[in-house]
Amino acid sequence: MRLAFLFLFLTILCSTAVAAWSEKDHEIFRLKEELEKHEGRGTTFYSFLELENGPGSTPDQITKAYRKRSRQLHPDKNTSKEATNRFARLGLIANILRGPEKERYDFFLQKGFPRWKGTGYYYARFRPGLFTVLVFLYLIGSGAHYLILSITATNERSRMQRYISECKAQAWPNGFPPADSSKRKIMYENGKVFMVYPDGTVWIVDSATNEEYMLDVTELEFASWRKTMLFQLPIWLWGISLGRYIKFPEKEEHKLLRKTPKMLKSTNGTEEPAKSWARLQISPEADEEGGSKQKRNITVTIR
């Protein structure tokens, strides 16, 4: 659920960024930059039309100024290479000042134009829509989800391996199994009991049933893309929508694809399928640094 809320937050944030500047805003920014480049720094739309009243100019004054400047800058009266561009730029600027965009231009003129060259310049050439932003965030979120799963799986394997090593170290102080091939019981301060067998396997004892479950690092699952939101989100959306009414028949698993259970020697010497591994969820309450002991809370989950 946290990932879903994070995905929704990023979606809203990026959607706001996409809609920050409109197409008309970008046109104003572009014309302002071109005007200062060719007419001189600090040139405004009003000074280009020779409007002395600036933002206070009326529509009639703007129209008269445009007609006057259009006669001066018309390409038929100017032979310079830039004449055509200046005349076209004049028409675009006059349309902005005579239209609803004038209020927008006056706002930027008073408050300051954003530095859009480094960001908006490239953004104007590729304006991602909401769907593109959603897909991008979906892929980024899935990658982050996979990274979290990978880190979690690695930590789980490390914790279980550390428990196995600690139990064997306590059971076999000299590093070798006992000569009488007997098993050793290891009890932690929190009451959890482990059994270390001569073959090197470590088992945790369920206090409720007194059954033993082997700690096998190889049975821990690695991170998988199928567990990320890339797959799980569509499955969840299907389940809460059409999946409630449309049911597909489950495919029967081929017998050759079924895994053969691992055979282990039981306590009475006979071979029997190994019981599911025990997953350890360790919550350290104190660090071992400084001589303090680390208390572990072990929860056995049977799969």
Q: What is the CA radius of gyration of the chain?
A: 36
* DSSP summary character for residue 48: H
User: Which pLDDT belongs to residue 22?
Assistant: 78
Residues 237-248: tens digit of each pLDDT: 888 888 788 877
User: Which pLDDT belongs to residue 303?
Assistant: 29
Q: Where are the domains of the chain?
A: 22-113, 152-239+261-302
User: Which pLDDT belongs to residue 271?
Assistant: 52
Residues 62-104: tens digit of each pLDDT: 999 999 988 888 888 877 778 888 889 999 999 999 998 999 8
Helix (H, G, I), strand (E, B) or coil at 260: coil
Rounded Cα gap, residues 277 and 269, in angstroms: 20
Measured in degrees and rounded to the nearest 5, phi and psi for residue 146 equal: -65, -40
User: Which pLDDT belongs to residue 159?
Assistant: 87
For 22-113, the fitting CATH number among 1.10.287.110, 1.10.3720.10, 3.30.1490.190, 3.40.50.150 is 1.10.287.110
Length of the chain: 303
Amino acid at 165: S
User: Which pLDDT belongs to residue 199?
Assistant: 86
CA distances from 266 to 154, 214, 216 (A): 29, 11, 15
Could you state, in chain order, the average pLDDT of each consecutive group of 10 residues for the chain (303 residues)? 48 48 83 88 90 90 92 83 87 91 89 65 56 87 93 90 87 83 82 87 86 86 89 88 77 48 49 47 40 38 31
User: Which pLDDT belongs to residue 62?
Assistant: 92
Q: What is the overall mean pLDDT for the chain? A: 75
User: Which pLDDT belongs to residue 125?
Assistant: 47
User: Which pLDDT belongs to residue 118?
Assistant: 52
Tokens of 129: 């829509």
User: Which pLDDT belongs to residue 168?
Assistant: 87
Quote the pTM value.
0.45
**Residue 157 CB: number of other CB atoms within 10 A?**
15
